[in-house]
Each structure stands twice: as C-alpha cells, then as structure tokens.
Structure 1
Amino acid sequence: MKTIVHVITKSEVGGAQTWVRDQTHLLKSEFRQIIITNNEGWLSVHNYADKVYFVKEIEYKFSVVAFLKILNILVKEKADIVISSSANAGLYARLAKLFYKHRSIYVSHGWSCIYNGGKLKSIFIGIEKKLSYFTDVILCVSDKDANNAKTVIGIPHDKIKVIRNAVYPQKEKLFKSESSLKLLFVGRLTHPKRLDLLIDAVDKMDNVFLTVVGDGPNRDFYKKSSKVEFIGEIKNFNKFYKYDAFTLISDSEGLPMSALEAASAGLPLLLSNVGGCSELIKNNGLLVDNTIESIINAINDIKDKYDDYQTGAQEIKNTFNLNYYKNEYSDLYIGTNIIVPEKSMV
C-alpha cells in the first residue's frame, strides 16, 4: 500500500481543510495517509488519516527548521506521494523533492499569488512558476484555476490536471419557507469574504433573513441587524436543507466547498462572480458583482422565481457527488496514464 502525505499550512476549518479531510476518507482503503499541518485544530480532529504530525513553523515565512522537520517526516514515513494544499505548504513540500524522491502534487484551491499578492504579485507568480518545475502535477479544482495556471502563471499545460471539487451529498432540501426567504452563509469571517456587503443588502429587504455559520477575526466588525443571525462556527455543518438558498459573497475563491455542499442539498445558489464559482451555476442560481445593488437584485430574482431555481438545483445536485471521482483521484496519485472523460458539473 502506497503512502500519501498531505501537507497543509493550517488545521483550522476551511475549504482546503475540508478537501483534505474528504480525501483521507475517500481513499482510506487504498492508501496509507499522513497529514502534516501547523497545530491541533479542526482538521487534526476531523480526518481519516493514519497519523497527524504538527510542524508549527510551517505557518510562518520560510523556515529552515520547518523544512528539515517536514523532510524528516517524509523520509521516516517513506512517502510515495506528497500532496500539498495552500501556498506555504506547497513551498516546503515541493522543495523537498530536491532532497527526497517522491511524486509531488500541488493542489490549487484558488491562486493566492494572483488574488492576494498585492504589490508583490509578480514576484509571487514568478515563485509559483519556478516551483512548478519541482512538481509532477498541478491539480486545479476548477477550470478557472487551470486557465490562470496556464495563461497568468505560465505553468506548462502537460503539468496541469483538473478535477473539480466535489463533496459527500448533503440531506436534500424539499420545501421553501412559507412567507420569507431564508438565506445561509457558511464561511470563515475574514478576508476575502465580503459578508459586510451581504448584510447591508439583506438589511434593506423585506422578508429576507440571513443565517451566518462561521467565525473569524472580522466577527465583531460586521453591522448588527435584526435580520441577521450569527450562530458561530459549527463543526461539520450539515443543516443546509433548513434554508431556502445559499449565498457566498467573496473577493476571491477557488471552487468553494460550502457552495458545493449546499448545491448537493438542492439549494439555489447566489455567488460572487469570482474564481470557479461560475462553474457551479446553470439554472440553479445567480452570479453577482460585489455591490449591494447587484446582490439585492439577485435576491429579489430568486424570491420571484424560486420554484424555477429550486427545480434547476434539484436537476444538477447529483453532479457534485465526490464518490464519482474516486478512481480519477486514485489514478492521478499513483500516476496511471489513462484518459478520463471530461465531467461537467452543470
């Protein structure tokens, strides 16, 4: 049985962490799996790996100590495949290939070097391109990420593989609330999420209410409203079916796991037109610009045509099922050269 080592910068709850958790569950009978992360947290508790290692220094700027610790773990565990998620983890894991032979896979959950690089954007993009030379496969979770990898970063086409994010199906939404529209937001309350815009929009509307699941450093800065309920972080949240529609307003995304979970429950979606979000929308919801006016117009449209959007959501909910992708992931990790038919999410 081959050994996979997942390297991820932080153990806190988030989309990349959910992806790693689901991978350890999906492939637990086919691979021995190890996780390396910064410290105890949501992922270190909620996983199906054989072992978890903590390297605190991984979350900071490059550290020789962190690099040597990670390299030592790879050697000790005789890692065959190293899968890294997030920028810091990807730096350490891919440089390790220079000193320890293994199959190196980097997962882009939305290119932070492009979206969050700021004034150093061009430098970070250059670093990402150089790191791709030490990587066997760049795994992109959306077509948008793959296109950015090719056209913006300049990663060779033959190194890029797309397997769109998917999730374990959620309990199905069957009925709409009688008189109001109950919206749900699930996400970490920090940049790049724009919950502030969503709250301002909801506060101006009649019979629209918002429930926010999540926590983070921006929690105390959001506007207080009688129409918005904060219920904090809920581990493994699975009550999507209690709401009428899911909304995620954000400045940048890869292919958001929370939106996929909502879609698998048959909820209409209202998403910012960023990253791979457009790949989740057909007749099941709407994309918006990050303005209050655009959000209000979209919410009104979903209210007015709710039956149509819910029908569209029901028609495509099964296309987000992670179980359908098990063989594709397994073949990618092993390095099997097979041609896999393109899957359409919508």
Structure 2
Amino acid sequence: MKICLIAEGSYPYVTGGVSSWIHSLMTAMPTTEFIIIAIAAERKQQGQFKYTLPENLIQVHEIFLDAHLEEHSKWGKRFNLSDAQKQNLFALVSGDQQVNWERLFEDIRNLPIQNVGEFLSSKDYYDMIEHLAKTNYSQVPYTELFWTVSSMILPLFLIIRGDVPKADLYHAVSTGYAGVIGALAKVIHQKPLLLTEHGIYSREREEEIIKANWVHGYFKDLWINYFYTLSSAIYSLADEVITLFDRNMQIQIELGCDPQKIRVIPNGVDVADFASISRTLPEDKIRIGAIVRVVPIKDIKMMLQMFALVERKLPNVELHIMGPFEEDLEYYEECLQLAETLHIKNAYFTGMVQIKDYLGNLDLLVLTSISEGQPLAILEGFACAIPFVCTNVGGCRELIEGTNDVFGPAGAIVPVMHYEEMAGQVIKLCEDGNLRKTYGQNGYERVAHLYTRSSFINSYKAIYAQCGGNTAWQESASNYESFTENKA
C-alpha cells in the first residue's frame, strides 16, 4: 500500500508536535510506502528538512504558497463563465454559501489559461470582485478589496491546478490547504481520503488573524470566513475524520462535519522509551521546562510574564524553553527583549535540543499556548512523571484532569493569557515537592494506561487496512474494532 500524507507548515520543515506525530507514524510502519505532500509558506524552505527521512518515505512533493509571486499576465480576457460557475466562485470568496468543491476543482483545472494570474486579470474576475464590493464591502476601498481577495485565492488556485502524486490512500493531517489537496486527490484519483485534525485549523487561523497587523480590520472577517470555507472541502469529501479528543469532535460537528464520519483516536507514547531518563544535576534548584516552538500561537510572552513573577517570589528557579526559534525570528527577538524588560535572570532559550537530555532534570513543565490539539509534550512529560501547568486549550484539560478515570490530577489548568494565575500554580508546585511527586505519578499512570503508542499505531493500521483494502493488516483491524468497542 502507498499512503500519501499531506502536511501544511509542519513535516519535514518543523520539528515537534504534528511533525513528530507524522514521523512516528511512518517509522512504525516500515513495510508501508509513504509519500509526503509538504506545504510550506516560502520557496526558500525547499529541501530544508529537519528530519532524517525514513527509508519507506519514497517521495517528498513540495508546494510553496509564495509561488503566486511568479504569476504575471495581461489584463482583460473574458472566459464567459456560466451563472453556476460564477455563483460557486462567489461562494468561495464571500463565505455566504456552501462551495461545490468538485465543481470548483473541475472549473479551475479546466480554465483555458497559461497561469492563474491570467484568470485574476480577467473581466470575469473583475466582475466578481465588483459584485462582492457592492454586496458586502461597499464602504471599503475597491482596490484594497481586489488585491486582498487576489492574495487569498492565488495560492489556492495554484494548488488546485497542480499535480497530485498517485497513491492508494490520501491522509491529510489538517484542514486548510492540506485538506483542499486531499479533497482534490480524492476527486482526481478516486481513492479513499482520511483527515486527522490535531487542533482545529480554522479556529487557529481565526485567532491568528484577529491579532494580525497585516490584515485591515474590515477584512478580518473575509479572511476568517475564507479559512472556514477551505475546511469545508475535506469535511464534505473525507471518508473518515479522526480527531484526538471529544471536545474537538464537537467543534468539528459544529463546523459542519458529518458526525458519522468522526472517530476519536488519541495520541500515544511508549513509556518504556523514557525509562532510562534520570536526574544528572543536583537538586539545588527548581527547574521548569517548556517543550515548545517559539512562535506566537504558543504565547511565549505569557510564559515569560509568568516566570518573572515566579522568579521574584522564589530564589532558586530556572526556566528552560526548549524548542526551535528560527521559524519566527522577529517574535523570538521580541521575547528576548521582553525578558530583558522584565529583568528575568534565569530563563534560557535552548533552541532545538534532544528533549530526553533535559527531562530528567526538570521538576515541572508548563504550556502557555492559545491553541493546541493534544500536545505530545504533555504525554512525554507524563512518561517521565513530571507534572504540568497548562492553559485551558485543546485536549489539555482532559490530559491533566482525566475524563472519569481513576488516576487523579496531574497538574493544573489555567485560562489562556492569565499569567498571574499560572504563576500562582507554578509557585504552589515549586514549594511542594510531595504535590509534584503525586501529580507526576498520576500523569504517568494516565499515559501508561490510556495513551499508549501501540494503541495509536494499531488504530491507524486498522483504518488504513479498512479504507485501502490491505488484507495483510486484518489482525490490526480486529484490534482496532476491539479498541473502539472498549472505548465505547
């Protein structure tokens, strides 16, 4: 079986999180061939892989969203689109109606043009933007609307007109552009399509756009609706939709996904992989860790504000922020400046490191994200019996507090952006070694019993077998059925 995984903004350019999940999935199935469709923001990322690619990954098909900058054409053609074609295109840009994605794929791929810019310079496109301006944006500058919509749909149209490698099964690991490519692959090649949604992509884009300076206030809704519209492509065309925890499933249903398609398969780790980890430094300090990329959605600035309060209260504390910072150097510099402004003395940005080299010396872990799925960082920390203090995002509450299990709390949950409340919880744990030990052991037991790597891998083997018709995995399929029955 040849499986095509479709990833946006993650593997193999970025480490941790979804990328680690993809790498783990492929390495656990060495006899299965994989193709990666890797979507990145800029062409300068080409070939800049952060992973040693496994031997069963036979192709990396790279797509760059800035390729539209190379599109040039003359103005004024008319393609005489039908009323149905015009209505479907208008639904895409306005967010007022449902898009017929199969029709859209056919129309865009069959346009008699040399490049996408040629269509966006046409009279048909001009008419569509004029209609949008009159109906939805009569009070904003027309030229701004024109170029805003162009920048939205240029990358999308390039993706739709591009080649999609052949595979036996397509598996997108988010909605958005990855979801559109998955839906396109299903339509073109008539093969099964899966979606695994770690966080809710459209909600994450909404949070980013609300805070973004590059989007004028009167166009924020336009961009937000657009990303929700993109998500509808794979929600409507996927054969199976997999999510990591119950709350995400409810959101997917609210966003229009058929509940009959959705299964919950949590992430998992093998606690045996962490059994040899031990403390190598003296217990003269309380060492707080964060396994995290230094990017805005992880809200490192909140983490620093929290730690500033902790450091003022306690004399012997350190904060180790472990993860890459190259993804957003401007944000990283802002974090360094904030640490200096707050007079923080003992916070260290380690960059990319071997996390296992640090875990044994950490007393507690923190996560300050404004959006998450089901963080592997929490599972890895629990595998080392380290308690966590987290913001209330994604599946963090379920991991920390459990869902009607017998294991007890494994840390504390605080509201997003409430750094003072997080500081209070961190100080409480720093001052109480017995509580840290109890919470850490609770986390270990929860992961060891409910979030195992073997269950995670066997569940995906079973779904691949069922959707792709691979009879060699029938044992995995029966294991999966048993697993889902027990969960129910």
1:133 to 236, 240, 256: 236
Residue type matched to 2:360 in 1? Y
Counterparts in 2 of 1:209 and 1:244: CA distance versus 1, 3 Å: same
Q: Name the counterpart of 2:79.
A: none
Note the C-alpha offset of 1:186. 1.4
Note the C-alpha offset of 1:148. 0.7
What value does the CA root-mean-square deviation take over the aligned residues?
2.5
8 Å CA contact retained: 1:59, 1:88: no
Q: Name the counterpart of 1:285.
A: 411
Structure 1, residues 145-169: CA drift from partner, whole Å, max 9, x if none? 1111012x02111111111112344
8 Å CA contact retained: 2:299, 2:370: yes
Counterparts in 2 of 1:226 and 1:48: CA distance versus 1, 3 Å: farther
Structure 1, residues 21-41: CA drift from partner, whole Å, max 9, x if none? 011012223x22222214324
Residue type matched to 2:173 in 1? S
Alignment length (residue pairs)? 335
Structure 1, residues 268-317: CA drift from partner, whole Å, max 9, x if none? 11111011111211321111122121111110222222222223233224
In structure 2, how many angstroms separate the alpha carbons of the residues matched to 1:47 and 1:330? 18
1:154 to 253, 256, 259: 256
Counterparts in 2 of 1:5 and 1:251: CA distance versus 1, 3 Å: same
SS in 2 for 1:96: helix
In structure 1, how many angstroms separate the alpha carbons of the residues matched to 2:267 and 2:332? 27
Where is the helix percentage greater, Structure 1 or Structure 2?
2
Unaligned runs of 5+ residues in structure 1 are none
Counterparts in 2 of 1:343 and 1:45: CA distance versus 1, 3 Å: farther
- Aligned residue runs from structure 1 range 144-293, under 5 A: 144-151=247-254, 153-169=255-271, 170-172=273-275, 178-205=283-310, 206=314, 207-214=316-323, 215=325, 216-217=327-328, 218-222=331-335, 223-224=339-340, 225-234=344-353, 237-239=355-357, 240-282=359-401, 283-289=409-415, 290-293=417-420
Structure 1, residues 148-200: CA drift from partner, whole Å, max 9, x if none? 1012x021111111111123444246669634321111111112111111112
Question: Which has the higher Rg, Structure 1 or Structure 2?
Answer: 2
Higher relative contact order (CA 8 A, sep 6+): 1
In structure 1, how many angstroms separate the alpha carbons of the residues matched to 2:296 and 2:426? 23
In structure 1, how many angstroms separate the alpha carbons of the residues matched to 2:62 and 2:303? 37
Residue type matched to 1:293 in 2? E
Counterparts in 2 of 1:58 and 1:142: CA distance versus 1, 3 Å: farther
In structure 2, how many angstroms separate the alpha carbons of the residues matched to 1:315 and 1:35? 35
Q: Name the counterpart of 1:18.
A: 20
Structure 1, residues 233-252: CA drift from partner, whole Å, max 9, x if none? 22x53232221111111100
Note the C-alpha offset of 1:343. 7.0
Q: Name the counterpart of 1:294.
A: 421
Structure 1, residues 304-343: CA drift from partner, whole Å, max 9, x if none? 2222222323322413331233221111122268353367
8 Å CA contact retained: 2:37, 2:63: no
Note the C-alpha offset of 1:137. 1.1
- Over the matched positions of the two proteins, sequence identity in percent amounts to 19
In structure 1, how many angstroms separate the alpha carbons of the residues matched to 2:38 and 2:58? 11
TM-score normalised by L of structure 2: 0.63
8 Å CA contact retained: 1:193, 1:251: yes
